[in-house]
Amino acid sequence: MLITDDFLPVPVPESLDATYLVPIAGLPRVSPKTAVEALAGRLAEPVHGLAKQMLASPLMTVDTRQVSEFPELPPDLLTAFGATEAQLARLAAATHLVVVQAEYRPGWPPAHEWAARAVAAAIAETVDGDVVDVFGLQFLDPAAALRSLPDADGRIRLVDWVLVPYSSDTDGLWFTTKGLRRFGLLELQAQGVPDHLTRAWGAVMSGAARRLLRDWTEGLAGEEVPAFVQLPVLATVTGHDIAVAYGNPEQHGATAPVLLRLELDPATDPDADSFLTLCPPPGHPGPAGRYFAAACATLFNGIQPDVRYTRPGDAMSKAVAAARAGLGDIRTRFVAGRLPTESQLVVKYGLPGDDGPEYVWAGVTSWEVPERIVGASASDANSDPSVRIGSPVVVEATDVVDWAVLDGTGVIEGGWTQAVLDAGDSTPTPD
């Protein structure tokens, strides 16, 4: 086994299994085979054929058991993962459980998960019931379970398979993933995440899971299952990774990538989980939370360049006037260090173009004199090839048309012109 400073050897389990339950009152009305056949035309291939093949093989079992024969499912945890009162009531009223279990080797596709979920959803449809994902302790209605399966192009939304719960500790928030073990990979964790990054860091965790899962499955692509897969110690996460994890690959912005360092955190208790811990890259000064906030600001700046030219008297012109009126105050607060912790100040300014100005954003790094702002470009400019993400820029204050203060969730102050663009309102408005 090759071990280097650039890669982390992660052990591969010999086999993987999936378990789904369908709570019912009484006994099933149709056989699993008949239920799966009814999905023809509604479930994309190869998943439909895969479900039929595994159902007919020793790799899958479907048993109907009395509820008393199965360990009780904890209602508090089911509720924490989204169970409704109606779903819990149907579970309490059930006399039997249809138990769908499948086993398969690590790799892609995860046949055990896809086939077991498809069969369980098919059975649940016939009884107007629910699917219980035992691994995730999560209720799924049959339609949602079927939607989570691959489309005709083999694509899934990773967030339908990997949850990102979090809890508070003394150093901030503790995030983990819950679902990567379905694919044989260790779960991720991050500690010391600032409290205000709840939504943003959850999305970063999903993007990191998508990137590492791709590396993981590529390492399992051979005919023989290896004992270890070498994962890169430095993982690159992009806006595209996050967008793909949420099933929107076409909706990612041109944000700069961020680096996260992987550490293996093996469990000392044999019954506990080991984790892959996400950390700042080597050489980052200060606490991890500061880097996590900067990473979120990079990936979720929420601001894109635009090439619209405003007319006097319209909503955009009023937005520019409001931003310029506040320039002096925001500079005073920036220089005095009185902006919110873990936030970033950005300014929007115009670059000359053939069809009018192109407006781009820059992160402010220094503002020693009122007339001149030093920063780093937050976007690529169409009109000036020298202005690229991260490139140094010097902005004349007279060219500024907007400013905003960002944290990991997006714009928390300012951003008047962006609000007009987001509302689709650049038409003249009454005075």
pLDDT at 398 over 50: yes
Beta carbons within 10 angstroms of residue 368's beta carbon: 10
The pLDDT, as a whole number, for residue 97 is: 96
- Give the total residue count for the chain: 431
Q: Which has the higher per-residue pLDDT, 1 or 163?
A: 163
The pLDDT, as a whole number, for residue 37 is: 93
The pLDDT, as a whole number, for residue 308 is: 39
The pLDDT, as a whole number, for residue 246 is: 82
Band (389; pLDDT cuts 50, 70, 90): low
pLDDT at 428 over 80: no
Identity of the amino acid at 295 = A
Q: Distance between CA 375 and CA 408 in Å, rounded?
A: 19
The pLDDT, as a whole number, for residue 250 is: 58
The pLDDT, as a whole number, for residue 1 is: 38
pLDDT at 335 over 50: yes
The DSSP secondary-structure symbol of 72 reads P
pLDDT at 105 over 70: yes
pLDDT at 306 over 60: no
SS3 235: strand
Q: Distance between CA 338 and CA 330 in Å, rounded?
A: 9
Q: What average pLDDT does the chain have? A: 86
- List alpha helices for 31-84, DSSP H: 32-37, 47-55, 75-80
pLDDT at 427 over 60: no
**Mean pLDDT value of segment 139-168:** 91
The pLDDT, as a whole number, for residue 33 is: 95
Task: Tell the burial category of 388 from Cβ atoms under 10 Å away from its Cβ (0-12, 13-18, 19+).
Answer: middle
Neighbouring-strand partners of residue 172? 169
Q: What is the Cα gyration radius of the chain?
A: 26
pLDDT at 211 over 90: yes
Of the candidates 288, 222, 297, the one whose C-alpha atom is nearest the C-alpha of residue 256 is 297
Q: Which of 79-93, 161-175, 272-286, 416-430 has the lowest mean pLDDT?
A: 416-430
Q: Distance between CA 325 and CA 339 in Å, rounded?
A: 18
Whether the CB-CB separation of 251 and 157 falls below 8 Å is answered with no
Q: Which of 150-159, 326-335, 421-430 has the lowest mean pLDDT?
A: 421-430
- List alpha helices for 302-344, DSSP H: 315-325, 327-335
pLDDT tens-digit series, residues 269-279: 877 788 999 99
DSSP string, 230-265: EEESEEEE-HHHHHHHTT-GGG---PPPEEEEEEEE
Q: Which of 16-20, 47-51, 254-258, 330-334 has the lowest mean pLDDT?
A: 254-258
Q: pLDDT above 90 covers what percent of the chain?
A: 50
**Mean pLDDT value of segment 102-124:** 96
Task: Tell the burial category of 169 from Cβ atoms under 10 Å away from its Cβ (0-12, 13-18, 19+).
Answer: exposed
Band (307; pLDDT cuts 50, 70, 90): very low
pTM: 0.69
Among 97-111, 198-212, 279-293, 406-420, the range with the most confident prediction by mean pLDDT is 97-111
Q: Which has the higher per-residue pLDDT, 62 or 351?
A: 62
pLDDT tens-digit series, residues 234-256: 999 988 888 888 887 655 445 67
Of the candidates 326, 327, 342, the one whose C-alpha atom is nearest the C-alpha of residue 373 is 327
SS3 56: coil
Band (429; pLDDT cuts 50, 70, 90): very low
pLDDT tens-digit series, residues 167-190: 987 788 999 999 999 999 999 999
Band (301; pLDDT cuts 50, 70, 90): low
pLDDT at 399 over 60: yes
The pLDDT, as a whole number, for residue 353 is: 67
Q: Distance between CA 342 and CA 218 in Å, rounded?
A: 36
Band (355; pLDDT cuts 50, 70, 90): low
pLDDT at 297 over 90: no
Band (312; pLDDT cuts 50, 70, 90): very low
